[in-house]
Structure formats: structure tokens, C-alpha cells
Amino acid sequence: MQAVRNLGIRAYEGAFNLFERPMLFVQRRLGMHRVAWMFLLPNLVIFGLFTFLPIFLNFWYAATSGDRILLTERPWVGAANFASLLDCENYLNPNTCHRDLFWRAVHNTGWFVVLQVGFMILFSLVTALILNRDIVLRGFFRAVFFYPVLLSPVVVALIWKWILQRNGVLNAGLDAAGMGTVNWLLDANWAFFWIVFVSIWANMGFYVLILLAGLQSIPGDVYEAAEMDGTPRWRQLFRITLPLLMPTMLVVIVLSLIRAVQAFDEIYVLTGGGPGSATTLLIQYIYDVGFATRPRLFGLAAAASILMAGVLFMLTMLQLAATRKRAVNG
């Protein structure tokens, strides 16, 4: 242990010595007033290359077609990609659309977001309220609910795939109860139910944690005052707890909305978007069109991602408003 510690200290010192001379040189050249840029540079270069530059290039891709990745080899098509994505007789019926898969993904994502966020917030709130009681082993329960959050999406998907497979333990239980078995992931409706369920399972611990922190920051004397007035407990829930939790709730709701719109990993591994396109969500559509199937339609993928970015942008604005409200309400 001591050896590891010494090695760590030596590495820390070594890194310091390695950078000191060049940094001192830069500091002398820049002067104290501009030395901050030296510290900012690495981060800004990476942001520039991998965040800001791609934003502009994304529009360029969306306005060109072909399967070449180099922009100079791509013919300009203007708004054709957007037009093709938005070409639809009836937006409520994906079958009438030119890009029916895109609209199916839009519909799936819409349902997924509503169901996943709705039920996840409900379950998280109930769990947080219960954990906020005088619970023995609260730390243990909190840790248990949080544990799946840390698991990788691939692991989460495989855990559930193993349970849901045809000879899996769930079917064994149903069979023993005399209810017959179901091919869970090959039935469109059940598959959709399970992607919602698994994604709630994997993520709710995070929201329980945040809601619990919000609940515990509500001062106890508010309740004492209510108690003295003889306010019944259930009324305290609706008149004190939930209103005071509202700012945290808002943040949690918007955050989970933003995440749900971008859901991909565990669903892709669990169902692969199937059966058919029953569980194909937007990100998977973008991945499929742009990378997984040939010819790679980069332009269409970019256009679809710009449309999605619009939705995300609005949600983020909502989040900023919610955060500010929380900051104001303290």
C-alpha cells in the first residue's frame, strides 16, 4: 500500500516537473493577464473540434446527399433531406409518410417518453417519500435502488434478456402458475412494455436520490407547525411536501425528458428495435440510417438529428427555467 502511495506521489511530482518549464515559458510570453487562456486552451480545442465544429458541419451534411463522408464529395441538395423526412400525408399515421420508419421512430419515441417519464417519476416519488420516513436501514435501501444506475446499459439489457427469454425464469414462473408462456420480446406490445420497464428499472435510482435530497432539505419545523395546528398527515403531503418539492420535481422531470428522448443503448441491445420496428426509437433510426445500413445516408441522419436537436433545445430551455426557479425559491 505504501509503495503504491509513493508511486502516486512520484508520478504527481513527475507530471509537475514535466510541464513546469513549458508552462513557465508560456506564462512569460503571455503575461499574467492572459495566462488564463493557457489553462483554458486544451478544453477549448476539444470543445471546438468535437462540439462546435460538428454543429456547423451537421447543417452542411443535412444539406447534401450521397454516401461519402468527405464534404467535398457530397452533392448539394438544399432542403431535400428535410423535405423527404417531413413528406407525410398524415403525421399521425407513419404508413402515409415517405420516410415511414422515421415517423414510426418519432411515434415510438413520443410514447416511450410519455410512459417512461410518467411512470418513472411516479415510482421515484413514492420511493423517495417512503425512504424519507423513519426507515431502518435507509442507506441500504437507497443504495439498492441506486445500484442499477451504475450498471452499463449493455449489462442491463443482457440481465433482462436472460430473464425474458423463452425458457427464462419469468416464463417458468408463469408456467408454474398455469398461465402459459409468452415470447416477451417477439410480441410488439410486450416488447414495448419491456423497454419502458427496463429503462425505468435502470434509471429510477438516480431520480430517487435527487428527490430524496429535495425532501430532506424541507425544514422540519414546517411540519411541526402543521402538527400543532392539527393538520392531518395526508393533507401535509399535498399542502406542504409536494408544493415545497415542486422545484426539484421540475428539474427532475425535464432532466428525465431530455434523457428519454435520447434513449438508445439498453433498448438497442435488448430488442434491436424489433420486432419489426416496434421499439425503434429516434437515436436508433439515426444510427441505422447513418451508420449501420449501407449505403450510409449521412445527410438523412444529420437532418433527423437536427430535427431532434430542436426538441432537445426546447426541453433544455425548460430546464434552465426550472433551475432558475429552483435557485430563486432556494
Partner 1 sequence: MAMAQAQGRSTFGWLVGRRGRNGFDLTDWFAYGFLGLGVFLMLGPVIWLLLSSFKTEAALQEFPPTLMPMATQTVMVEGFDVPLPLFRITEGEHEGRVLAQIRRVGLNAQMVDPADPETRITVNIAHREPVRVVAVATENYTTVFTRFNFLLYFWNSTFITVVATILTVLFNSMAAFALAKYDFRGRTSVFILIIATLMIPPTITLVPMFLVVSQMGLVNSHWGVIWPAIATPTGVFLLRQYMLTIPDDLLDAARMDHASEWRVYWKIVLPLSAPALAVLTIFSVMWRWNEFLWPLIVLNRSEVFTLQLALNSFQGELQTAWSNLLAMTVLTLLPITIVFAFLQRYITQGIAQSGVK
Query: Does 111 help bind partner 1 (rule: CB under 8 A)?
Result: no
Provide the minimum distance between the beta carbon of 58 and partner 1 in the complex, in angstroms, as a whole number. 5
Residue 181: C-alpha distances to residues 5, 162, 195, 270 (Å): 56, 15, 19, 19
Binding to partner 1 (CB under 8 A): which residues in 165-194? 167-169, 171-172, 175-176
Beta bridge partners of 76: 64
Contact (Cβ atoms closer than 8 angstroms) between residue 187 and residue 275: yes
Burial of 218 (C-beta count, 10 Å sphere; 0-12/13-18/19+): middle
| Residue span binding partner 1 (CB under 8 A) among the ranges 79-87, 89-97, 139-147, 184-192 | 139-147
Interface pick for partner 1 out of 77, 250, 312, 318 (rule CB under 8 A): 312
Provide the minimum distance between the beta carbon of 80 and partner 1 in the complex, in angstroms, as a whole number. 16
Query: Does 80 help bind partner 1 (rule: CB under 8 A)?
Result: no
Contact (Cβ atoms closer than 8 angstroms) between residue 270 and residue 195: yes
Query: Does 76 help bind partner 1 (rule: CB under 8 A)?
Result: no
Cα separation, 273 vs 211, whole angstroms:
32
CB of 93 or CB of 150, closer to partner 1: 150
- List the one residue out of 225, 253, 252 whose CA is nearest residue 239: 225
| Residue span binding partner 1 (CB under 8 A) among the ranges 97-105, 111-119, 273-281, 306-314 | 306-314
Query: Does 82 help bind partner 1 (rule: CB under 8 A)?
Result: no
219 contact partners, CB below 8 Å, separation of at least 6: none
Interface pick for partner 1 out of 77, 155, 188, 244 (rule CB under 8 A): 155
Provide the minimum distance between the beta carbon of 48 and partner 1 in the complex, in angstroms, as a whole number. 9
Cell 493557457, residue? 38
Interface pick for partner 1 out of 241, 277, 279, 280 (rule CB under 8 A): 241
CB of 40 or CB of 95, closer to partner 1: 40
Cell 410514447, residue? 111
Provide the minimum distance between the beta carbon of 134 and partner 1 in the complex, in angstroms, as a whole number. 4
Provide the minimum distance between the beta carbon of 281 and partner 1 in the complex, in angstroms, as a whole number. 11
Query: Does 79 help bind partner 1 (rule: CB under 8 A)?
Result: no
Provide the minimum distance between the beta carbon of 286 and partner 1 in the complex, in angstroms, as a whole number. 6
Burial of 205 (C-beta count, 10 Å sphere; 0-12/13-18/19+): buried
Provide the minimum distance between the beta carbon of 168 and partner 1 in the complex, in angstroms, as a whole number. 8
Evaluated on CA atoms 46, 50, 51, 54, the torsion sign reads: positive
Contact (Cβ atoms closer than 8 angstroms) between residue 265 and residue 154: yes
Binding to partner 1 (CB under 8 A): which residues in 192-231? 201, 205-206, 209-210, 212-213, 223
Provide the minimum distance between the beta carbon of 93 and partner 1 in the complex, in angstroms, as a whole number. 26
287 contact partners, CB below 8 Å, separation of at least 6: 264, 268, 301
Provide the minimum distance between the beta carbon of 219 and partner 1 in the complex, in angstroms, as a whole number. 12
Binding to partner 1 (CB under 8 A): which residues in 263-302? 264-265, 269, 272, 283, 286-287, 290-291, 298, 301-302
Over its C-alpha atoms, the chain yields an Rg (Å, rounded) of 26
Q: How far is CA 163 from the centre of its chain?
A: 24
Query: Does 132 help bind partner 1 (rule: CB under 8 A)?
Result: yes
Interface pick for partner 1 out of 78, 83, 276, 313 (rule CB under 8 A): 313
Contact (Cβ atoms closer than 8 angstroms) between residue 116 and residue 263: yes
Query: Does 37 help bind partner 1 (rule: CB under 8 A)?
Result: yes
Type of residue found at 288: D
